[in-house]
Chain A
Amino acid sequence: SYDLSQPLSVSAALGQTATITCSGTSLGSKLVHWYQQKPGQAPVLVIYKDNIRPSGIPERFSGSNSGNTATLTINRAQMGDEAAYYCQVWDVRSVIFGGGTKLTVL
């Protein structure tokens, strides 16, 4: 089965850039989607199809995907961005989630 790897935790200074990676074999050949989950809440889609923001998601959120790594970038990180972030892809007909990354804004 296909595996996605994410760092357990990432930190960024307030107002700086946060970078969260998601790794998998030939990940660049797949479409990657990203979700934000705050404690006690349901996940929210923040990036789909590698780099598209749903309506209502700030422009500070962006995504890229190439080679074996997809990246979620959060510019000008805010305290409200503290959350767990999950990447997701499809493997044939199965859904694969990454293990999640906890973002701390310092």
Chain B
Amino acid sequence: QVQLQESGPGLVKASQTLSLTCSVSGASISVGDYYWSWVRQHPGKGLEWIGYIYHSGNTYYNPSLESRVSISIDPYEGQFSLNLRSVTAADTAVYYCARVETAVDFDSWGQGIPVTVSS
């Protein structure tokens, strides 16, 4: 059974870069018909898709965040990462990593990591 675990700082200063890593166990991220994705949830709000990466390294991002976001993958370590640049208080949210059956559903999620952007 695949498991995902987010890690990274829970507090980031405004204008800096938010960097998170998702460690995947129980499945290889270098094979299979899966995307590896990031989703966030602002306090008390709904789910917002950030972007995804395929094991080949191909990425696709939410157009509303595309100018500030990058996702990378390290198949050897079984990890994929999120970088969100020039953060503001509006980026304060719980960030989830998830596995996506290609162009279908998000079938496995990490527990989420809360990130606060401070001024």
Which residues does A use to contact B, with CB under 8 Å? 1, 31, 33, 35, 37, 41-45, 48-49, 54, 84, 86, 88, 90, 93-100
Tell me whether B37 is interfacial, beta carbon within 8 Å: yes
Q: Inside 8 A of A33's CB, which chain B residues have their CB?
A: 104-106
Give chain A residues whose Cβ lies under 8 Å from the Cβ of B107: 45, 48, 54
Interface residues on B, range: 20 to 34
Nearest-neighbor residue (CB-CB) of A1 within chain B:
B63
- If A42-B96, A42-B112, A100-B47 touch, does A88 touch B106 (CB 8 Å cutoff)? yes
A1 to chain B, nearest CB (A): 7
B39, chain A: closest CB distance, angstroms = 8
CB-nearest residue of chain A relative to B6? A42
**How many angstroms from the CA of A106 to the CA of B59 in the assembled complex?**
44
Which residue on chain A has the smallest CB distance to residue B35?
A95
Q: Which residues of B contact A (CB under 8 A)?
A: 37, 46-49, 52, 60, 62-63, 96, 100, 103-107, 109-112
Chain A residues with CB under 8 A of B46 = 84, 86, 97-100
A93→B49 contact, CB < 8 A: no
Contact A49 B49, CB 8 Å, known A42-B96, A93-B60: no
Q: How far is the CA of A97 from the CA of B109 in the complex (A)?
A: 15
8 shortest A-B CB distances, which residue pairs? A95-B49, A42-B109, A33-B105, A48-B105, A100-B46, A97-B47, A99-B46, A93-B60
